[in-house]
Amino acid sequence: RLLIIDFGSQVTQLIARRLRELNVYCEIHPYQKVNDAFLDDFAPKAVILSGGPDSVTRPGSPRPPQSVYTRGVPILGICYGQQVMMQDLGGRVEGGKITGGGGTAEFGRAYVMPAGQLPLLDGWFETGREQVWMSHGDHVAQLAPGFEVYGTSPNAPFAVTADASRHFYAVQFHPEVHHTPKGAKLYENFVRLAGFSGDWTMAAYREEAIRAIREQVGEAKVICGLSGGVDSSVAAVLIHEAIGDQLTCVFVDHGLLREDEAEQVVTMFRDTYNIPLIHAEESERFLTALDGVSDPETKRKTIGRLFIDVFQHYADQIEGAAFLAQGTLYPDVIESVSFSGGPSVTIKSHHNVGGLPEKMGLKLVEPLRELFKDEVRALGRELGLPDSFIGRHPFPGPGLAIRCPGEITREKLDILRKADAVFIDQIRRHGLYDEIWQAFVAILPVRTVGVMGDGRTYDFACALRAVTSVDGMTADYYPFTHEFLGETATRIINEVTGINRVTYDITSKPPGTIEWE
């Protein structure tokens, strides 16, 4: 296995992701934890020293134990990791100047030119130079003995350096980020040089995660809030596999779910997986609190507040619970680190149970914290969750409330659920479900006049929404054919009493948002 020593870079997790893509097992450990005993115990086959915000020129700045260099294993140093290697092995690092030539601070895109043959760079420089992503203040001023330069950029004369005889490699840029297009190839070369066969799989991740959950939780009880979404479901199934009935799930049913959704969740967890589940059927409470509310933010806040009260009420019944499980993913972790306290404007108050653990005196179990969405899906498949479930479109915490602009009534919710089910059925029948990021119906707060048979109708209008997106941050409307739209409109009007007009929302995000509220 490979050890990544983390010096605090924002993108350390991306290194792990690149390695998982190469089917290499790795673990990230903070530098504070890595001492001689740790290294002996871990016995890494190779080590990566991550980037980090500190400066090696500062006394007391983070270092790995010196024994890392005498174990005879390949080492790759990245950015701060490069500077650590140079300093530790007898070279010299200087603080960066922001302007001027030769070894200055550098942030953003840069181009590396070859300066020698190195197996680490196999497949590089096919077009003469390679784009890389730099983000550093300091720079190497003098190489450590035994090191040579194999790649340079105008501002980083020591962009790629190595002591090939010892398999010590050190690069100034970040090969793990998207903006270093050949970065994955560099990692592939490194793990090949280190002798990894690339046979590690999600099955192994599952085993490792189960071991870690057992170690963290011990004999204690764990509560997991289940939303019916992919993340919390995968987390729950994984934790249940690790600790069995020490886990209880609480599923808060706020009456704002889609057709048959509550039954599906309850059946799947209780009957298929035998996971202890409290079905908190509290729709009356939520709908009563939402009575007469039409302002979007008030809706969101009302639901959010009530959700926490209800969750806490049910969780309090689970005696001796010490942990709260959450399906937090890695992007949530990065966002909360890099954007917390930032000057951004609240567009929508998101459903958030962030304050809950402290309020309830619970510790967190977050077994998906290192994974990206597609990896969570792969883990879900590994755990045997059905494909149809794993590929589901995202669904917002406040549910149908924010797809019902204006006042929410039971009548409107019933109509909306039926129309939504027809739309999704259409999309599935036409084999479009997996091409679409998210699709749903919004019921509009207006009635319009129509004619059906020989009679006049005066019913609700609805809007279809379907978008493509990579991360939900930006989105494009899906270009359905006119035939598809026509057929869908006809089906909704024929099959759903209460709707007599169908429109298609062709707004992208920005300027629109995906949801209507």
**Residue 221 near residue 321 (C-beta atoms within 8 A):** yes
Annotated binding residue 229: yes
Closer by beta carbon to ligand XMP, 168 or else 516: 516
Annotated binding residue 55: no
By CB under 6 A, the count of residues binding ligand XMP is 13
Annotated binding residue 72: no
At closest approach, how far in Å is the CB of 433 from ligand XMP? Answer: 15
Closer by beta carbon to ligand XMP, 245 or else 295: 295
Is 174 assigned a catalytic role?
Answer: yes
The contact mask relative to ligand XMP for 420-449 (x = CB under 6 A, - = no) is: ------------------x-----------
- List all residues 6 or more positions away from 414 whose beta carbon is below 8 Å from its beta carbon: 498
Q: Are strands 455-468 and 438-452 parallel, antiparallel or unpaired?
A: antiparallel
Residue 219 to residue 482: CA distance in whole angstroms? 58
Considering only the stretches 21-29, 158-166, 358-366, 391-399, report the one whose residues sit in contact with ligand XMP under the rule CB under 6 A. Answer: 391-399
The DSSP H or E segment spanning 376 is helix 373-382
Annotated binding residue 232: yes
> Considering only CA atoms, which of 144, 156, 26 is closest in space to residue 79?
156
Closer by beta carbon to ligand XMP, 425 or else 505: 505
Beta strand spans in 194-283 (E)? 221-226, 247-253, 277-281
Q: Three-state SS for 102?
A: coil
Among 397, 424, 444, 502, binds ligand XMP (CB under 6 A): 397
- List all residues 6 or more positions away from 156 whose beta carbon is below 8 Å from its beta carbon: 103, 106, 110, 112, 134, 136, 139, 172, 173
Annotated binding residue 470: no
Rounded to 10°, the helix 410-429/482-495 angle is 140
Which one of 106, 130, 176, 517 is the catalytic residue?
176
Closer by beta carbon to ligand XMP, 46 or else 256: 256
**Residue 493 near residue 500 (C-beta atoms within 8 A):** yes
* End-to-end CA, the chain: 47
Interaction with ligand XMP in 322-351: which residues (CB under 6 A)? 348, 350-351
Among 301, 381, 491, 509, binds ligand XMP (CB under 6 A): 509
Which one of 174, 240, 254, 279 is the catalytic residue?
174
Considering only the stretches 11-19, 329-337, 393-401, 496-504, report the one whose residues sit in contact with ligand XMP under the rule CB under 6 A. Answer: 393-401
**Residue 247 near residue 276 (C-beta atoms within 8 A):** yes
Q: Which residue type occupies 242?
A: A
Which one of 26, 79, 224, 249 is the catalytic residue?
79
Interaction with ligand XMP in 346-385: which residues (CB under 6 A)? 348, 350-351
At closest approach, how far in Å is the CB of 359 from ligand XMP? Answer: 20
Closer by beta carbon to ligand XMP, 136 or else 299: 299
515 is an interface residue for ligand XMP by CB under 6 A: yes
Closer by beta carbon to ligand XMP, 438 or else 488: 438
Other C-beta atoms closer than 10 Å to the C-beta of 99 total: 7
Q: Are strands 455-468 and 476-477 parallel, antiparallel or unpaired?
A: antiparallel
Tally of residues, the chain:
517
Annotated binding residue 294: no
At closest approach, how far in Å is the CB of 203 from ligand XMP? Answer: 29
**Residue 408 near residue 299 (C-beta atoms within 8 A):** yes
Residue 343 to residue 41: CA distance in whole angstroms? 44
Closer by beta carbon to ligand XMP, 23 or else 349: 349
Tokens for 253? 């049913």
At closest approach, how far in Å is the CB of 399 from ligand XMP? Answer: 9
Interaction with ligand XMP in 453-472: which residues (CB under 6 A)? 472
Tokens for 455? 């009679």
At closest approach, how far in Å is the CB of 327 from ligand XMP? Answer: 11
> Considering only CA atoms, which of 260, 262, 231, 252 is closest in space to residue 385?
231
Closer by beta carbon to ligand XMP, 8 or else 472: 472
At closest approach, how far in Å is the CB of 307 from ligand XMP? Answer: 10
Is 249 assigned a catalytic role?
Answer: no
Query: Pseudo-torsion of CA 491, 496, 500, 503, nearest 10°?
Result: -60
Interaction with ligand XMP in 469-498: which residues (CB under 6 A)? 472
Among 77, 137, 396, 399, binds ligand XMP (CB under 6 A): 396
398 is an interface residue for ligand XMP by CB under 6 A: yes
Residue 311 to residue 346: CA distance in whole angstroms? 25
Annotated binding residue 151: no
- List all residues 6 or more positions away from 180 whose beta carbon is below 8 Å from its beta carbon: 130, 131, 132, 133, 173, 174, 186
Q: For residue 510, is the peptide bond before it cis, meaning its omega torsion is within 30 degrees of 0?
A: yes
At closest approach, how far in Å is the CB of 515 from ligand XMP? Answer: 3
Is 176 assigned a catalytic role?
Answer: yes
Closer by beta carbon to ligand XMP, 391 or else 394: 394
Q: Which residues sit in the known binding site?
A: 227-233
Binding site for ligand XMP (CB under 6 A): 348, 350-351, 394, 396-398, 438, 472, 509, 513-515
Q: Which residues sit in the known binding site for ATP?
A: 227-233
Catalytic residue IDs:
79, 174, 176
